[in-house]
């Protein structure tokens, strides 16, 4: 039987519409259904190398991504990955929280096949929208026999779920993988891997959580920034409010304002899990030693928050 690529729609700018013809900004995200998006792109069926199946998971602006959508998306991905006829999955997503969704999926999906997120910086009604090419590239990547794991492609560049981050609010190539660089590129419908071969997919750390996602509340984990004049009062307030975990976006190599550090020590004493990440967009802070909390294992603050939520969910099962 013919193999298929499944395209899961969640909304975002790629499905956005503006009342002003040709406008790049001032649009409303998540207005066009995924089936309509697919129907408007010539050559998509050819890039898939088989049939295309569309499924609408959500229709939201990704700034409003929530736990319920995450749970539905992860579970539908798992169901399709288990289908032997499915060669790969494409997810259309907004740019604002794409990196968080990618990291969540990488932690809960056993993805021996490619799960490819893509997006757009311009709405579908723009004079020159970037979504169609990104979606075409995503389908080509999902159909690539050597691809596996959770990936992201935009502006022709392939990124991994752990490294990818949105680094610019407007330009078309808004995503970057920092010091590690991209995994590859999609060029004229062909995938070229950066190191001559496809990267191996990492084993998911929390695959056991997949069946229970969405069955109850997620742990409350907040991000706190260390900055000049930090006083730690926000941490104390979060602890009083019952927060389960705190991720700190620390200065430099994991350094913390002394008042904030004291407040975090009080939080740990109260049973709150604390992780420390760097607020620097490039590089990786050294491992923490002799601290009352753990470092974020090189993750950005937003991805460290995803990891800590999953850790707390695992403990609470």
Indicate the pairing of strand 273-278 with strand 294-295.
Answer: parallel
Indicate the pairing of strand 4-11 with strand 86-92.
Answer: parallel
At residue 189, the 3 state secondary structure works out as coil
Out of 13, 95, 118, 251, pick the active-site residue: 13
At residue 30, the 3 state secondary structure works out as coil
CA triple 106-274-75, angle to 5 deg: 25
Other beta carbons less than 10 A from residue 197's beta carbon: 9
Strand stretches in 102-244, DSSP E = 114-118, 149-154, 157-160, 165-166, 175-176, 184-187, 190-193, 221-225
The yes-or-no answer on residue 13 being catalytic is yes
- Give the whole-angstrom CA distance, residue 49 versus residue 36: 20
Other beta carbons less than 10 A from residue 188's beta carbon: 8
Other beta carbons less than 10 A from residue 86's beta carbon: 19
Residue positions annotated with a catalytic role? 13
């Amino acid at each position: 039987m013919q193999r298929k690529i499944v395209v899961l729609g969640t909304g975002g700018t790629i499905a956005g519409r503006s009342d002003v013809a040709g406008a790049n900004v001032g649009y409303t995200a998540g207005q066009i259904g995924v089936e309509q998006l697919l129907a408007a792109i010539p050559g998509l069926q050819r890039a898939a190398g088989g049939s295309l199946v569309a499924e609408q998971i959500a229709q939201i602006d990704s700034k409003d991504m929530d736990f319920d959508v995450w749970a539905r998306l992860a579970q539908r991905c798992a169901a399709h990955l288990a289908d032997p006829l499915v060669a790969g999955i494409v997810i259309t997503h907004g740019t604002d929280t794409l990196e968080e969704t990618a990291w969540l999926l990488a932690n809960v999906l056993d993805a021996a096949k490619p799960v490819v997120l893509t997006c757009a910086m311009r709405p579908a009604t723009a004079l020159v929208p970037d979504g169609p090419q990104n979606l075409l590239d995503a389908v080509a990547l999902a159909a690539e026999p050597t691809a596996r794991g959770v990936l992201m492609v935009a502006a022709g560049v392939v990124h991994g779920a752990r490294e990818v981050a949105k680094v610019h609010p407007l330009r078309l190539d808004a995503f970057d993988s920092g010091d590690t660089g991209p995994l590859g590129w999609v060029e004229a419908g062909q995938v070229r891997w950066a190191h001559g071969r496809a990267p191996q997919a990492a084993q998911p750390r929390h695959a056991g959580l997949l069946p229970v996602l969405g069955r109850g509340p997620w742990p409350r984990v907040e991000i706190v920034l260390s900055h000049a004049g930090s006083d730690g009062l926000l941490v104390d307030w979060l602890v009083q409010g019952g927060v389960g975990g705190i991720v700190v976006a620390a200065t430099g190599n994991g350094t913390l304002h002394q008042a904030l550090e004291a407040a975090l020590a009080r939080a740990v004493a109260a049973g709150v899990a604390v992780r420390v990440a760097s607020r620097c967009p490039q590089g990786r802070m050294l491992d923490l030693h002799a601290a009352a909390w753990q470092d974020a294992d090189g993750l950005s603050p937003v991805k460290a928050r995803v990891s800590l939520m999953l850790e707390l969910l695992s403990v609470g099962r």
